[in-house]
């Protein structure tokens, strides 16, 4: 019994061992299988599964970093980028395309047919409208909620907060924020933000778990461009230019303010203005910055350089006399005229009275070669080097190709063309004592870390005329604003003003001759600043003025007003001097000008009557508003104007005694007329 029990127990142990062995075998086999599988997955197929994991969890996205800002010299924003919403659709997910197009059309202000075209087909993506306004985004929210194939996408948008202030100078970008015109185009390389692929890890629900993108990587953003343009000066220049153009019923105009020492452009105004925020609404002709891109014949403003050539040649001295032939001078088979009959004039008086004959005779004596060399030295016929796209070189033919009449024409600014900037840069050289400057619009460019990455090259400027000659021409230019000069309106009491008028006939390409109707009236000059301060060249040009064609009447008053703002703004004048910067006595100046340049009897009589009856309201009926404004400057009253054209009625009535505090009201006829 005992033996049997022993045997049974032995068998039981053996079976148990067998079972344990079996289980152990299965476990070991399983473990080996797991390890083998793990080895296969981790080692043999490592690359394959790693790639699969990465494709499922990791993704990358192209990020375009923000375009840099354009700032005015005072650090205020002129152009910036903000994020805006754009609307896109997935046409294959849109059920009723017609209904959707009809619903969206009034919100997007688009035609139903054009929206239907966008939704056509089974595409996966189509832009419907980019750069939406906040109002449109709000109105579209319900549509995006109920329509699965419709969504917003955030995109950068370029905005110009000052609207049309310096619009042509700034230019604009396209919808992808790439520079297309103006400074946006010229400095696109600096302004453009970098494009970068950013990797990110996503979970099973495609949520981003981790991203390598920092919210704002400063070094990848576009750089900040600081302009030399002063916002306030720019606004004043634009305002005064507008007054000059509309007051003279001109077609357009340009005004420039430039530092004569370094060529920094402080204001570059143009009229009509252009708002880059709504470029599509504007005529593309307005996109062009005429101060830089348009070639024009300078007219009499070039005579200052004829004088420079005369003095530099050593043939003439400033007090030499030139016979101006009593207003008519024959060159070959052509006759050159002066507006008035002058006899013998000193060299500086030739400039003062703007004598074409005097200049022709000077040019003839110094010769084409010398005259050409001086013009070339001052930068005429070549690029000024301004940092702005599409600047043409001026037109100045080699002196060997000049005929006799060409030499004479060039001496008073005909047959030679240049941009406004090139002319102002040449005057800057005169004003700074004879050094040529390179005009520029950008003061510096800084990167995200605050380092300056670009500054205008500080070139050693070349001397284009001796300082002695520059001073002599300075004195001659100061005569222009005297009572009997061509631009007494440019004078500022208490300050020494130098400048030159220009009244250039426009070339009629259809008739292939100079027009007797269309002119450009201009004035360029500067005011003597306090010691240690640089001179600022101010240039005003009005295209095709109608009320008067003369630079002294049309452009010089705008020059004077811009300078009054400038002198006050830059603290160039003491408080006592500022107090004298009130509205000048136009009466006297206008009378002087009417004799010197206009020669219009009507204007002389007009001012004469006003002087005699200072306390009696004159009769302005039939006059232009410009005439009226010039006269009433002396009365120091507020003026209200309605309508366009000539004055048809006025308050107070003619002959009424003027009481203090009474304002003038003028009603104008709507039709335009010419003097």
Partner 1 sequence: MAVKKKQPSQWSWPNSCLLVVMVGMIFYCSWINNKIVTRGYRLNELRQAEKQLIEEQDKLEAELATLKSPRNLARLARRLGLKEPRPGQKMVLP
> Which region among 79-87, 93-101, 319-327, 392-400 touches partner 1 (by CB under 8 A)?
79-87
Position among 94, 149, 150, 162 found at the interface with partner 1 (CB under 8 A): 162
Residue 246 tokens, joined:
């509309």
Residue 85, helix vs strand vs coil: strand
Nearer to partner 1, 41 or 208 (CB): 208
Position among 213, 393, 466, 518 found at the interface with partner 1 (CB under 8 A): 213
Half-sphere exposure of 142 (CA within 13 A, CB side): 5
Does 575 sit near partner 1 (CB under 8 A)?
yes
Does 76 sit near partner 1 (CB under 8 A)?
yes
Least distance between partner 1 and beta carbon 640 (Å): 13
Nearer to partner 1, 57 or 295 (CB): 57
Taking a C-beta distance cutoff of 8 angstroms, is the pair 556, 489 a contact?
A: yes
Nearer to partner 1, 15 or 194 (CB): 194
What are residue 514's DSSP bridge partners?
Answer: 507
Does 398 sit near partner 1 (CB under 8 A)?
no
Burial profile 519-558: b = 16 or more Cβ within 10 angstroms, e = fewer = bbbbbbbbbebeeeebbbbbbbbbbbbbbbbbbbbbbbbb
Least distance between partner 1 and beta carbon 162 (Å): 4
Number of residues forming the site for partner 1 (CB under 8 A): 44
Does 360 sit near partner 1 (CB under 8 A)?
no
Taking a C-beta distance cutoff of 8 angstroms, is the pair 477, 500 a contact?
A: yes
Least distance between partner 1 and beta carbon 638 (Å): 8
Nearer to partner 1, 81 or 420 (CB): 81
Does 573 sit near partner 1 (CB under 8 A)?
yes
Nearer to partner 1, 290 or 565 (CB): 565
Nearer to partner 1, 123 or 219 (CB): 219
Position among 18, 30, 58, 580 found at the interface with partner 1 (CB under 8 A): 580
In sequence order, what E strands does 528-563 have?
A: 536-543
Position among 350, 421, 478, 567 found at the interface with partner 1 (CB under 8 A): 567
Nearer to partner 1, 130 or 506 (CB): 130
State which of positions 235-274 bind partner 1 (CB under 8 A): 235, 238-239
Least distance between partner 1 and beta carbon 634 (Å): 15
> Which region among 28-36, 226-234, 263-271, 627-635 touches partner 1 (by CB under 8 A)?
226-234
Does 582 sit near partner 1 (CB under 8 A)?
yes
Measured from the Cβ of residue 67, the count of other Cβ atoms closer than 10 Å reads: 25
Does 163 sit near partner 1 (CB under 8 A)?
yes
Measured from the Cβ of residue 459, the count of other Cβ atoms closer than 10 Å reads: 11
Taking a C-beta distance cutoff of 8 angstroms, is the pair 486, 220 a contact?
A: no
Which residue, 240, 575, 292, is CA-closest to 418? Answer: 292
Nearer to partner 1, 491 or 564 (CB): 564
Does 581 sit near partner 1 (CB under 8 A)?
yes
Q: How far apart are CA 192 and CA 69, in angstroms?
A: 10
Nearer to partner 1, 237 or 437 (CB): 237
Stretch 627-666: interaction string toward partner 1, x if CB under 8 A: -----------x----------------------------
Position among 165, 254, 442, 497 found at the interface with partner 1 (CB under 8 A): 165
Does 54 sit near partner 1 (CB under 8 A)?
no
Q: How far apart are CA 662 and CA 43, in angstroms?
A: 99
Pairing of strands 126-129, 77-89: antiparallel
Nearer to partner 1, 184 or 348 (CB): 184
3-state secondary structure 55-83: HHHEEEEEEECCCCCEECCCCCEEEEEEE
| Residue whose structure tokens are 């530099």 | 312
Peptide bond into 652 cis (omega under 30): yes
Position among 180, 393, 505, 568 found at the interface with partner 1 (CB under 8 A): 568
> Which region among 72-80, 112-120, 474-482, 533-541 touches partner 1 (by CB under 8 A)?
72-80
State which of positions 399-458 bind partner 1 (CB under 8 A): none
Does 335 sit near partner 1 (CB under 8 A)?
no
> Which region among 18-26, 136-144, 206-214, 414-422 touches partner 1 (by CB under 8 A)?
206-214
State which of positions 524-563 bind partner 1 (CB under 8 A): none
Residue 252, helix vs strand vs coil: strand
Residue 149 tokens, joined:
């194939």
Position among 579, 609, 614, 637 found at the interface with partner 1 (CB under 8 A): 579
Nearer to partner 1, 271 or 378 (CB): 271
Does 210 sit near partner 1 (CB under 8 A)?
yes
State which of positions 449-468 bind partner 1 (CB under 8 A): none
Helix (H) or strand (E) segment spanning residue 518? strand 513-527
Kindly tell me the number of DSSP H helices and DSSP E strands found in the chain. Answer: 23, 24
Position among 42, 199, 513, 571 found at the interface with partner 1 (CB under 8 A): 571
Q: Is the dihedral of CA 618, 623, 624, 627 positive or negative?
A: negative
State which of positions 184-203 bind partner 1 (CB under 8 A): 201, 203
- Which string of DSSP letters, residue by residue, matches 609-651? HHHHTTTB----TTSBHHHHHHHHTTTT--EEEESSSBEEEEE
Q: How far apart are CA 210 and CA 94, in angstroms?
A: 33
Position among 106, 121, 124, 161 found at the interface with partner 1 (CB under 8 A): 161
| Residue whose structure tokens are 């006759």 | 335
In sequence order, what E strands does 229-278 have?
A: 252-259, 265-271
Q: How far apart are CA 626 and CA 240, in angstroms?
A: 14
Taking a C-beta distance cutoff of 8 angstroms, is the pair 605, 621 a contact?
A: no
Cα 530 to the center of its chain, rounded Å: 29
Residue 57, helix vs strand vs coil: helix
Residue 261 tokens, joined:
């020492």
Gyration radius from the chain CA atoms? 38
> Which region among 125-133, 154-162, 180-188, 544-552 touches partner 1 (by CB under 8 A)?
154-162
Say how many Å lie between the first and final Cα of the chain, rounded.
151
Position among 8, 11, 96, 216 found at the interface with partner 1 (CB under 8 A): 216
Least distance between partner 1 and beta carbon 364 (Å): 45
Q: Which residues bind partner 1 (CB under 8 A)?
A: 76-77, 80-83, 159, 161-165, 201, 203, 207-211, 213-216, 231-232, 234-235, 238-239, 564-565, 567-569, 571, 573, 575, 578-583, 638
């Amino acid at each position: 019994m005992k033996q049997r029990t022993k045997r049974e127990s032995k068998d039981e142990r053996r079976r148990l061992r067998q079972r344990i062995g079996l289980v152990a075998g299965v476990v070991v086999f399983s473990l080996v299988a797991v390890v083998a599988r793990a080895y296969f997955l981790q080692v043999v197929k490592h690359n394959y599964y790693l790639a699969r994991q990465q494709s499922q969890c990791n993704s990358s996205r192209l990020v375009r970093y923000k375009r840099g800002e354009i700032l005015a010299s005072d650090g205020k924003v002129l152009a910036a980028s903000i994020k805006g919403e754009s609307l896109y659709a997935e046409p294959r997910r849109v059920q009723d395309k017609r209904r959707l197009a009809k619903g969206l059309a009034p919100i997007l202000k688009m035609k139903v047919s054009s929206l239907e075209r966008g939704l056509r087909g089974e595409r996966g993506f189509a832009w419907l409208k980019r750069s939406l306004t906040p109002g449109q985004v709000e109105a579209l929210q319900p549509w995006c909620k109920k329509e699965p194939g419709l969504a917003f996408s955030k995109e950068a948008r370029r905005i110009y907060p000052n609207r049309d202030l310096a619009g042509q100078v700034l230019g604009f970008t396209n919808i992808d924020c790439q520079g297309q015109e103006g400074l946006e185009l010229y400095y696109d390389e600096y302004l453009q933000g970098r494009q970068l692929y950013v990797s990110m890890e996503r979970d099973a629900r495609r949520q981003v778990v981790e991203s390598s993108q920092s919210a704002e990587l400063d070094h990848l953003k576009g750089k900040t461009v600081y302009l030399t343009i002063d916002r306030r000066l720019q606004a004043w220049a634009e305002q005064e230019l507008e007054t000059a153009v509309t007051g003279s019923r001109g077609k357009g105009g340009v005004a420039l303010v430039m530092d004569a020492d370094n060529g920094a452009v402080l204001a570059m105004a143009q009229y009509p203005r252009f708002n880059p925020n709504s470029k599509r609404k504007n005529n593309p002709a307005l996109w062009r910055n005429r101060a830089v891109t348009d070639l024009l014949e300078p007219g009499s403003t070039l005579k200052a350089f004829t004088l420079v050539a005369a003095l530099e040649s050593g043939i003439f001295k400033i007090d030499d006399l030139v016979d101006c032939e009593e207003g008519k001078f024959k060159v070959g088979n052509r006759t050159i005229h002066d507006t008035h009959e002058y006899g013998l004039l000193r060299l500086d008086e030739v400039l003062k009275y703007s004598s074409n004959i005097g200049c022709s005779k000077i040019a003839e004596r110094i010769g084409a070669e010398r005259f050409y060399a001086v013009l070339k030295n001052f930068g005429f016929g070549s690029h000024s080097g301004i940092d702005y796209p599409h600047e043409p070189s001026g037109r100045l033919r080699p002196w060997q190709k000049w005929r006799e009449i060409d030499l004479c024409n060039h001496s008073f600014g005909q047959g030679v063309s240049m941009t406004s900037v090139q002319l102002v840069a040449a005057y800057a050289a005169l004003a700074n004592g004879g050094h040529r400057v390179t005009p520029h619009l950008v003061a510096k460019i800084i990167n995200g870390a605050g380092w300056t990455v670009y500054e205008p090259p500080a070139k050693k400027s070349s001397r284009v005329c001796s300082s002695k000659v520059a001073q002599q021409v300075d004195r001659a230019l100061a005569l222009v604003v005297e009572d009997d000069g061509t631009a007494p309106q440019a004078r500022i009491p208490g300050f020494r003003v130098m400048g030159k008028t220009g009244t250039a006939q426009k070339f009629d390409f259809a008739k292939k001759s100079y027009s007797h109707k269309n002119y450009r009236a201009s004035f360029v000059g500067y005011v003597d600043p306090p010691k240690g301060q640089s001179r600022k060249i101010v240039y005003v040009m009005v295209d095709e003025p109608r009320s008067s064609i003369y630079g002294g009447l049309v452009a010089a008053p705008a020059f004077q007003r811009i300078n009054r703002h400038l002198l006050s703004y830059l603290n160039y004048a003491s408080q006592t001097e500022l107090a004298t910067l009130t509205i000048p006595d136009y009466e006297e100046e206008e009378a002087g000008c009417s004799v010197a340049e206009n020669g219009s009897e009507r204007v002389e009589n007009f001012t004469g009557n006003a002087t005699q009856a200072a306390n009696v309201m004159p009769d302005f009926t039939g006059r232009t508003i410009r005439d009226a404004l010039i006269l009433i400057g002396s009365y120091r009253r507020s003026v209200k104007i309605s309508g366009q054209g000539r004055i048809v009625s006025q308050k107070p009535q003619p002959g009424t005694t003027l009481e203090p505090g009474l304002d003038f009201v003028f009603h104008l006829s709507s039709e335009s007329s010419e003097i």
